[in-house]
Amino acid sequence: MQAPKALAFDVFGTVVDWRSSIAQQASGFVAQHLPHISPEQFADGWRALYQPAMAACRSGARDFVALDTLHHEMLQLLLAQHGLPAALQHSAEVAELALAWRQLQPWPDVPQGLAQLRQLLPVVTLSNANVALMVAMNRFNGLQWDAVLGAEVSQHYKPAPQAYLRTAELLHLQPGELCLVACHHSDLAAARDCGLQTAYVARPNEYGGAPAPDRAAEQVWDFHANSFGELAEQLAAVL
């Protein structure tokens, strides 16, 4: 296996702890409007609408729209499912809460580990997040990338092949020269099908300790690590 020439990162779950971050930001809203559930259950319910929301864009049933827009629509649908009034669903309060995904905290190993990886290779995002979302998140959590790429740039949501192949193309790399770093087996499987190298970083607490929904897609990946620092050590040995 040749050494990769750049690293592309999934973000939600791999880089940032979306569940704890969303639960924390939504805690006041949940206490006021949905006191029968926990903030963590609220975060899980919101995230559960993620793949169905993107499916319409993938199928061509609707034009590509930015993830910020989908997050807002998902939140409105979640509130409707809980029987909350339409006036609240369309309120400024809900529009503001929909942007909570712009303020997600990284996992503890990420700041130092990402800096170590960036010393070895270019690091870019290969996320379903739109550019404005990623820019806001990076300014919030201080993470530094060499480029913000992914779905909005390619106009295709993962796991569509175009999301992976367009990222490699923009970096002037062959697919096999780019390595996807992710904690999701399904994401890595789609990247491998496109010819990318694969690096799995375990995030056992992404779903609060519950089993990952895509565990059936697990394979033997090119790299396997428990932290970004450990991945940096593995890559340093082959570069």
Q: Tell me: the pLDDT tens digits for 68-126?
A: 999 999 999 999 999 999 999 999 999 999 999 999 999 999 999 999 999 999 999 99
Q: Which stretch of DSSP H or E encloses residue 225? A: strand 223-225
Query: Average pLDDT in the 135-157 region?
Result: 96
Q: Which amino acid is at 125?
A: T
Residue 170's contacts (CB-CB under 8 Å, 6 or more residues apart) are 147, 149, 153
Please state the pTM of the whole predicted model.
Answer: 0.96
> From CA 100, how far away is CA 43, in angstroms rounded?
11
- Of 206, 235, 237, the C-alpha closest to 223 is 235
Residue whose structure tokens are 């609707």:
62
Query: Average pLDDT in the 133-158 region?
Result: 96
Helices (H), the chain: 18-33, 39-48, 50-59, 67-81, 86-89, 92-97, 110-120, 131-141, 151-154, 161-170, 185-193, 228-238
Asked whether this chain's domains 6-17+104-238 and 19-102 adopt the same fold, the reply is no
Cα angle 154, 159, 161; round to 5? 55
Which letter does DSSP use for residue 44 in this model?
A: H
Say if residues 37 and 210 touch (Cβ distance below 8 Å).
no
Residue 238's contacts (CB-CB under 8 Å, 6 or more residues apart) are 1, 3
Domain limits of the chain? 6-17+104-238, 19-102
Strand, coil or helix: what is 217? helix
What is the per-residue pLDDT across 172-220, written as a single tens digit (0 to 9) for each? 999 999 999 999 999 999 999 999 999 999 999 999 999 988 999 999 9
> Tokens at residue 116, please?
């170590």
What is the per-residue pLDDT across 5-62, written as a single tens digit (0 to 9) for each? 999 999 999 999 999 999 999 999 999 999 999 999 999 999 999 999 999 999 999 9
Domain 6-17+104-238: give its CATH architecture: 3-Layer(aba) Sandwich (3.40)
How long is the chain?
Answer: 239
Is residue 1 predicted with pLDDT exceeding 90?
no
Cα angle 157, 160, 163; round to 5? 65
- Of 198, 151, 121, 132, the C-alpha closest to 51 is 151
Q: Which amino acid is at 51?
A: Q
Q: Which CATH class is domain 19-102?
A: mainly alpha
Instruction: Say what the pLDDT of residue 2 is.
Output: 86
